[in-house]
Amino acid sequence: MNENSLPSIDQLKEQAKSLRNIKAKDGVSLGHSQCLELVAKGHGFKDSNCLSAAASNESGAKPYFIGQRVSGHYLSTPFAGELVLVKGSDDPSLTIVRVKFDQPIDVVKFDSFSNFRRQVTCSLTKEGVTREKTSNGVPHMVLDYSADFSAVKG
């Protein structure tokens, strides 16, 4: 399911309530939080927190969430990794994220010297790019997607 077509938070809660009622008719007693977890799994998310974060994006919240898998280029080097920090910025059009790379990235382009990074913190736009650029005009980080988070569920 594409996150752009997720139900609202209220609709997800209603789905959990309906599931609870259906299960009760079958003689199975489940709590509301258990039903929320089942609804999250049904939408392809790891848990209800990830689903809630994704559904919140529908209302203009930041499009990133902790645990989200991302890939792209950092200082022109391809990477895959996971968001381990997501927080708001003083600029509402930016989100501060920390990416933990699956494999360390050498951020130095000289043959005689290396400096490997396991993670990096930067400010991203909703389009998945930094405003900061290298001397040749390339953004420091560019994610491989543009506000399409269907492949990066928690």
> Model confidence over 106-136: pLDDT tens digits?
999 888 999 999 999 999 988 899 999 999 9
Provide the residue count of the chain: 154
Q: What is the DSSP letter of 130?
A: -
Q: What is the pLDDT of residues 73-114, one digit of tens each?
A: 999 999 999 999 988 888 888 889 999 999 999 999 888 999
The structure's pTM equals 0.57
Q: How far apart are CA 12 and CA 4, in angstroms?
A: 14
Query: Which helix (H) or strand (E) is 54 found in, with range?
Result: helix 48-56
Amino acid at 15: Q
